[in-house]
Structure 1
């Protein structure tokens, strides 16, 4: 009896492709798709309105609560402290209970935090909501490295991880579009934050469904001692992470508000300026999907120099070219590229340096970035009050610029760190 002819699925090829992606007969959704979609939703919420939402709505918060620049800086730093603490908590929850626990705790914190902001009567309550919402970014991202590493086939892992990271850029764009609708439709910022809370609740449900079958790491790899991460070869990745975290946090906290105060851009209402900044930020940030290819073309040291200089120029343009479309698009676009590509570099660079503990080493790199994110806005807010916003932006730009100048090829090696010899390079 003749065998049935394999069915064709258009550009995806024939039926074996479905099995290659983990979709078999009699099944609905397999790990590649379920984890990719769940991770996409989690990072879209955590890094869109969760981590970026406060900076996006600073003009509205200023108006509603009479916030000073220094207060904006401290509230923003408090949010990044939540991110920092989330990063510290996530590995422990991951090791004890598997990836479902930190991801769901993070999304629950985002849902509650956004709801708190939506109903906040004063600045302290806003600060609590921002802290909870931003902590989701520290809790809900890195566990997917572990889940995908164990549940998705080796050849498919890069595509799955790329889908997870893409949620960041898309989440920022969607948050910006929500703010745009708010301004053009005459809606309250509280409605936007209530909408964010609802979206976070939906992400919580989808992740609960996708992750409940992913067990914890029974081999105890997450329990490896953190002192392995103290190798000399790892110092450059921490320095890059700190500069990146400081730069991005200050931009997120103050850039959109400064461009609003400068009068926006010609041809559109001033109120849509913040939304435009974050829309272009997120759209250009999708270039992060090309990070691996660009690194292969120009090498890691040159890529890092370009990214640090892009971050510096992005900040400088806020001071020297406000009120112009070219300045807004260039500044937001370069910052988006700087943030998304640098985070991708930290992910694969940390894995190359410490291949036996990829999740823990990535967390360590993000902790270095989070340290800069906590310190940066608070110091920048005080500096802006003392010396003016333009001086603050230019001064901050000096940090990534100096990092690019001081970086040497030997600092950006991708060979595994020899942790048994602490002084090795």
Structure 2
């Protein structure tokens, strides 16, 4: 074996005690980690959001209101938010890779089980359990990236992971809509679960073991409480957590209730047409990667503020009656949101001091609590005052997120 090749393989596998050994671009380990984390994001979000295009079907078949039908998603995201906090603590002893693998396989199997739920209440129970199981992925994946990837390229890699979440969110929605149109909703969920299981197997086969992670055997409540309180006392981080809550709440609200608007007159879209609208998630994939690269080059907070403003513009565009303009608004909204999310999640890893898994768990807790609470609250606005009230609700949330970003930027600069 040539000396240069031997040196490259040694650099991929041999860690020097007491020294950080990052995955860097150009190595096989880096490429495998990138594909694996993309698969984890894809699987997590396709399984989580596959029910979103089915909300009008659930409302009709189970005789529940739009807000009640949204519980099939809100319960998952709500329990996932709680599980994320616990998952960060569990991963300190079990390990990042092991916990993510268990979570992905379990969530895929529960999605398959959802297809066989005989009634509405059992369906909700299974979806809640799925949220609990999925909690082992998002915060831990972000912690893995922050620990294992060279900090000089973390923004781009985080953007790629968030791009995987965008692709998963799109695929889950689009494929479920198409499958439900031709096969009904039960086979649709079964097939989505099978795809998620295949992605989980690919993740397990590809992800390199952690090399900078230090295992903490046992469970020490004082250690974890101290870690979480330490991050909450970091001046800038609580504002980033607020951005996660507010931006995700506004984003999910638009996606939850746009379907109810578009299947009704004068639009009358069928499930396939409604599902195809979610292909605009492709713009989120590009925005995540581009946002991360721009943040590394021109400043993360500048890109964050721009992304939030873009999200608000997209939300406002959906007020128009023209279907092409509504779709354009969803495109702009999706682009701005994923740009903001990739930057904000990366900033958490940069600004946190130690125990990055705990910091990520707080960010994801806020992210999914926002999805759960605001996503369901939007249904009340839709039922009482229609789509205009939904848009006003989301614009208020985004204005608060913009102000939070300004405070976070000021505090981070002052500390630096």
Note whether the superposition's TM-score is higher than 0.5: yes
Count of residues in Structure 1 that have an aligned counterpart in Structure 2? 397
Structure 2 residue aligned with 1:190, among 186, 189, 193?
186
In 2, Cα distance between equivalents of 1:73 and 1:110: 19
Q: Assess, with a 3 A threshold, how the Cα gap between structure 1 residues 372 and 343 changes in structure 2: closer, same or farther.
A: same
Structure 2 residue aligned with 1:245, among 237, 248, 255?
248
In 2, Cα distance between equivalents of 1:193 and 1:335: 27
Alpha-carbon deviation of 1:413? 4.5
Further displaced range: 302-311 or 208-217: 208-217
Alpha-carbon deviation of 1:374? 2.2
Aligned to 2:70: 73
Kindly indicate whether the alpha-carbon contact (under 8 Å) linking 2:41 and 2:168 is maintained by their aligned counterparts in 1.
Answer: yes
Alpha-carbon deviation of 1:71? 0.6
SS, match of residue 225 in structure 1: helix
The answer to whether 1:347 aligns with 2:345 is yes
Alpha-carbon deviation of 1:407? 5.2
Structure 2 residue aligned with 1:203, among 188, 199, 204?
199
The answer to whether 1:228 aligns with 2:233 is no
Further displaced range: 14-23 or 330-339: 14-23
Aligned to 1:175: 172
Kindly indicate whether the alpha-carbon contact (under 8 Å) linking 1:353 and 1:416 is maintained by their aligned counterparts in 2.
Answer: no
Further displaced range: 191-200 or 393-402: 393-402
Structure 1 residue aligned with 2:368, among 363, 367, 370?
370
Alpha-carbon deviation of 1:81? 0.7
Alpha-carbon deviation of 1:355? 4.0
Matches within 5 A, 1:45-194: 45-48=43-46, 50-135=47-132, 137-149=134-146, 160-179=157-176, 181-182=178-179, 186-194=182-190
Aligned to 1:277: 277
Alpha-carbon deviation of 1:400? 0.6
In 1, Cα distance between equivalents of 2:146 and 2:363: 19
Matches within 5 A, 1:387-398: 387-398=385-396
Structure 2 residue aligned with 1:259, among 262, 268, 272?
262
- Alpha-carbon deviations, 1:198-248, whole Å to 9, x = none? 112223323333458447933659856211112233232122122112112
Q: Assess, with a 3 A threshold, how the Cα gap between structure 1 residues 179 and 200 changes in structure 2: closer, same or farther.
A: closer
Kindly indicate whether the alpha-carbon contact (under 8 Å) linking 1:77 and 1:374 is maintained by their aligned counterparts in 2.
Answer: yes
Kindly indicate whether the alpha-carbon contact (under 8 Å) linking 1:264 and 1:273 is maintained by their aligned counterparts in 2.
Answer: no
SS, match of residue 310 in structure 2: helix
RMSD: 3.5
Q: Assess, with a 3 A threshold, how the Cα gap between structure 1 residues 149 and 288 changes in structure 2: closer, same or farther.
A: closer
Segments of 5+ residues of structure 1 without an aligned counterpart are 7-13, 419-424
SS, match of residue 183 in structure 2: coil
Q: Assess, with a 3 A threshold, how the Cα gap between structure 1 residues 314 and 127 changes in structure 2: closer, same or farther.
A: farther
SS, match of residue 57 in structure 1: helix
Aligned to 1:422: none
Q: Assess, with a 3 A threshold, how the Cα gap between structure 1 residues 389 and 117 changes in structure 2: closer, same or farther.
A: farther
Segments of 5+ residues of structure 2 without an aligned counterpart are 15-26, 218-222
Aligned to 1:10: none
Alpha-carbon deviation of 1:90? 1.5
Alpha-carbon deviation of 1:286? 2.4
Further displaced range: 134-143 or 250-259: 134-143
Aligned to 1:35: 33
In 2, Cα distance between equivalents of 1:403 and 1:149: 24
For normalisation by structure 1, the TM-score amounts to 0.80
Alpha-carbon deviation of 1:368? 1.8
Matches within 5 A, 1:295-306: 295=295, 299-306=299-306
Aligned to 2:17: none
Kindly indicate whether the alpha-carbon contact (under 8 Å) linking 2:88 and 2:358 is maintained by their aligned counterparts in 1.
Answer: yes
In 2, Cα distance between equivalents of 1:296 and 1:112: 38
Kindly indicate whether the alpha-carbon contact (under 8 Å) linking 1:23 and 1:30 is maintained by their aligned counterparts in 2.
Answer: no
In 2, Cα distance between equivalents of 1:301 and 1:205: 36
- Alpha-carbon deviations, 1:79-118, whole Å to 9, x = none? 2112202311211221011013321232133213311321
